[in-house]
Structure 1
Amino acid sequence: MGLFSRFTDIINANLNSMLDKAEHPEKMIRLIIGEMEETLVEVRSTAAKNIAEQKNLARKIANTQKAISHWQTKAELALTKGREDLAKSALAQKHNSQKELIAFEDENSLLTELLANIQTDAQHLQEKLTEAKNRQANLIRRQNSAEVRLKVREKAVVHSIDAAMAKFERYQSKIDHLEAQVESYDLTDKQDLASQISALAADDAIENELAEMKKQAASAA
């Protein structure tokens, strides 16, 4: 199983768990990005180990090739000196080195294929990581915009309430004015009544004074 395939399984498991818990989208995106970044670190670490191993294999292959050439030369030399036994021994060493070379080359081929797969997975994962970060940035922009718009709406609501309260104050002032007018009429009526009563008292005084004058005039006559 490739690293990217395993990463996909991890992400799917986490996403299913988060969806079951009805988590927020931004949390899911953070989780995805975190998993991608961790997987990329693992991919790079694995690739570095494989590259180091391939370099080591390259040295082994080069040394083995030299050993094959070396034993071939020794076998030829022994044969020219009439030492067939030594020539056979040298050829046996050469064959052993050839077997090692085949094993090293097979291992190198596997590493080459693995590195190619890792590179493909890493590239695919990097593309998905970039996409996820772009979505995260877009989500943050949308969230910030929504929060600003909400604040504007809230302020508009407060303004509407203030406007309604101002109207209420104006209505209350109008009622106060009407009540003051009523009170002023009542006060005027009370003043008129007091004036009439005072007038009656003045009339009585005049009548009394007039009667006294008449009485004095009659006495004088």
Structure 2
Amino acid sequence: MGIFSRFSDIVQANINAMLDHAEDPEKMIRMMISEMEETLIEVRTTSARIIADKKTAERHLDRVQKDLDEWERKAKLAIAKGREDLARAALLEKQLVAEESATIAGELANLDEHLSKLDEEINQLQAKLTDAKAKENTLKMRQQTTSARLKTKRQTERANIEDAFAKFERFEQRMDYFEGEVEAMDLGKEKQTGLKQQFADLENDDKLNAELERLKKDMQAGA
């Protein structure tokens, strides 16, 4: 089932409100425009058919009017010739034709009224369609603007991330350099420090051995 079910639904529709509640406004507006265009075609088709009927009725009325004039002429001729009976018959035919003429004139009036209403409906539909297309263009522009902003933001974020990694890499390089400087300052000291430590260890070993011998002697003396 479509968004709109008849002409009045389109004319009374609040496009903005419908779009505000739509999950997919762009899809919704496209559907609206499609149905409006279809309805507009239907109304124009109906108008064309009525215009054709009106032209046919006008031609018929023109022929009937000529018949009225002809029976009028014949009635006058009969009177002039002293044939009142023929004059009455001619006037009777004229009366029948006049009734037909009145009927056709009434039909034409109805057709004119219908056409006037259709013309008003076409104007209303056209206005709604123009409004809907304007809304569609607005949505497209907003979508394009949003996409462009999102693309720019992503590029900016990517640039920021790349810049952050570059800064971190430069920081690591600086730290490597400083650590290298520290290690460079210790070069040449490591061997000397190692020898001192070895002699210190030997002295500690002697002290420990002496203490161990003392403990053994004390234990033997106590036994």
Hey, what's the Cα distance between the residues in 1 that align with 2:5 and 2:121? 9
Q: Which residue of 1 aligns with 2:39?
A: 39
CA RMSD across the alignment? 2.9
Q: 1:72 and 1:40 mapped to 2: Cα distance?
A: 47
- Give the deviation of 1:179 after TM superposition: 3.4
1:82 is paired with a residue whose SS is coil
Structure 2 residues not aligned, in runs of 5+ = 197-223
Match of 1:23, SS?
A: coil
Cα distance in 2, alignment partners of residues 8 and 117 from structure 1: 13
CA distance in 1, matches of 2:163, 2:61: 88
Compare 65-74 and 178-187 and name the one that shifted more.
178-187
C-alpha distance in 2 between matches for 1:64 and 1:180: 118
Determine the structure 2 residue equivalent to 1:126: 126
- After TM superposition, give the deviation of residue 116 of structure 1 in Å: 1.0
Residue 219 (structure 1) aligns with: none
Match of 1:99 in 2: 99
Structure 1 residues 11 and 75: CA distance shift in structure 2, 3 A: closer
| 1:154 aligned partner, one-letter code | R
One-letter amino acid matched to 1:85: D
Aligned to 2:169: 169
Distance (whole Å) between structure 2 residues aligned to residue 5 and residue 28 of structure 1: 15
| Residue 61 of structure 2: aligned partner | 61
- Residue 151 of structure 1 is matched in structure 2 by 151
Query: Conserved in 1, the CA contact under 8 Å of 2:11 and 2:124?
Result: no
Counterpart for residue 72 of structure 1: 72
**Residue type of the alignment partner of 2:68:** I
The Cα shift of 1:75 comes to 2.0
Helix, strand or coil at the partner of 2:121 = helix
What letter corresponds to residue 163 of structure 2 in structure 1? Answer: A
- The Cα shift of 1:35 comes to 1.7
Aligned pair in 2 of structure 1 residues 30, 178: CA closer, same or farther (>3 Å)? same
2:22 and 2:28 in contact (8 A); partners too: no
Which AA in structure 2 matches 1:108? L
- Please report the TM-score for the alignment, with normalisation by the length of structure 1: 0.74
Describe the superposition over 1:123-153 as per-residue Cα deviations: whole angstroms up to 9, x where unpaired.
Answer: 1221222222122212211211111111111
Aligned to 1:205: none
Residue 22 of structure 1 and its aligned partner are, at CA, apart by 4.0
Among the aligned pairs, what percent are the same residue? 43
Q: 1:72 to 1:109 in 2, by over 3 A?
A: same
Moved more, 151-160 or 46-55: 46-55
Structure 2: distance between partners of 1:9 and 1:172: 69
Whether the 8 Å contact between 2:11 and 2:125 is mirrored in structure 1 is no
* In structure 2, distance between residues paired with 1:5 and 1:99: 41
The verdict on how the C-alpha distance between 1:65 and 1:12 changes in structure 2, with shifts beyond 3 A counting, is closer
Q: Alpha carbons of 1:11 and 1:72: their partners in 2 closer, same or farther (altered >3 Å)?
A: closer
TM-score in terms of structure 2 length? 0.74
